[in-house]
Structure 1
Amino acid sequence: MARPKRDFQSGLPQARRFITTHDDTGKAIYSEDLPEIVPFWAVGPRDEPAAFGLVYATTSTPVPLTKDEDLTTFRRIDEQRTRGGLVHSGGSAMRYVDYPPKASSPMHRTVSCDYAVVLFGQVGCRLDSGEERVLNAGDVLVQRGTMHQWVNLGDTWARMLYVLIDSAPVESGGVILKEDLGGMEGVPESH
């Protein structure tokens, strides 16, 4: 098998996705409706942008798989990928984020339950309480609607894979905690 080409923006391996479906007899096949290469785009300040790559997204649970309804929905979402929010109301989003060396995201909150996996590098997750954890390749953080900041602790690019699942409103201390993108450049509000 040939090694994947390198991602232009970060130098990390190019990300590919493979999507399954069914043929007319019910046998499993690979869908050819979407490109295998996940397109990345720059997000954040011009001098130190991160790179986002939307792998897949849904807008409901359970996901309607019959007649590839979910693929049709995702094609519409994917066409608007640079203008969509981080969380899809009633659904989910799977996204890569490549962080430049020593870069950090703004402190932010999404109204979602997120599974965050470090694929390359070493990344810190700081909470607004001041607590921090260091994650290495293969480590997972479950983010549950809290204020947090991602920090690439290394001298090379880091890549994370996130699965964001829309959640009920987050309430703490009698206050509803809303999405707060912390001034994140190039990322529209969700919902």
Structure 2
Amino acid sequence: MEKQPQGGIRRVTTTQDKAGLAIVEHDDECELLDVTPEHATFAVVWSSDKSPADNADPRDGAKQPVWSGQLHNPEGSVLRFVDFPPHCKSPMHKTQSLDYGIVMWGEIELHLDGGEKRTLKQSEVIVQRGTNHLWANTTDKWTRVAFVLLGAK
């Protein structure tokens, strides 16, 4: 099996100082969490627990728990990168969220519980609207997808 791509996910966040001037708050690498037996990894870049978000909130959004251990925050947002190893498949799942998935590299298959499948390649986007689905990397190469999850009705 191909090795996981080198290099993590650098994030740069900004805030304002006491004078109201923009400054860099964080310039670091996100922690990659091994989340499956196949070694798929999650990296939460930022999350918020409400919308609109409070830009004056001093908490580090990457360190805040995602609601009840789920993949999304019902009243907020999550930005997460997922690295899928070759021949890895997620379980069928559904979140009560609006998800934007952007394939950064590689390719990934979307499987819907109604039987449809679509393959997405680098720079292609899926808009996932609270439906039951799974992700399958059927290739011999790693795939990285950036997901933005927004709480939805």
* Structure-2-length-normalised TM-score: 0.90
More helix by share: 1
CA distance in 1, matches of 2:20, 2:70: 35
The number of equivalent residue pairs is 150
- 1:9-48 matches, within 5 Å, as 10-32=4-26, 36-45=28-37, 48=38
Which structure has the bigger radius of gyration?
1
Q: What residue is the counterpart of 1:161 in the other structure?
A: 146
Identity over the aligned pairs, expressed in percent?
A: 36
SS of match in other structure, 1:17: strand
Task: Return the structure number with greater strand share.
Answer: 2
CA deviation string 1:70-119 (max 9, x = no partner): x4162651xx57x8321113000000111110111111111100000110
Report the secondary structure of 2:69's partner residue: coil
Structure 1 residue 156: deviation in Å?
1.1
Aligned to 2:137: 152
Distance 1:50 1:75 in 2: 19
* Deviating 4+ runs (over 6 angstroms): none
CA deviation vs aligned residue, 1:141-167 (integer Å, no higher than 9, x gap): 000000111111321111110011111
The within-5 A match list for 1:1-191 is 10-32=4-26, 36-45=28-37, 48-66=38-56, 69=57, 71-72=58-59, 74=61, 77=64, 80=65, 84-168=69-153
Distance 2:74 2:117 in 1: 29
Asked whether the equivalents of residues 101 and 155 of structure 1 are also in contact (C-alpha less than 8 Å), the reply is yes
TM-score with structure 1 setting the length: 0.73
* Counterpart Cα distance in 2 of 1:28 and 1:18: 13
- Residue in 2 that maps onto 1:174: none
Please list the CA deviations of residues 43-68 of structure 1 after superposition, one character each: whole Å capped at 9, or x if unmatched: 122xx1211111000001111112xx
Structure 1 residue runs without a partner (length 5+): 1-8, 169-191
Which residue in the other structure is 1:182 paired with? none
Partners of 2:124 and 2:62 in 1: CA distance: 30
Contact between 1:58 and 1:73, CA under 8 Å: does it hold in 2?
no
Amino acid at match of 2:93: H
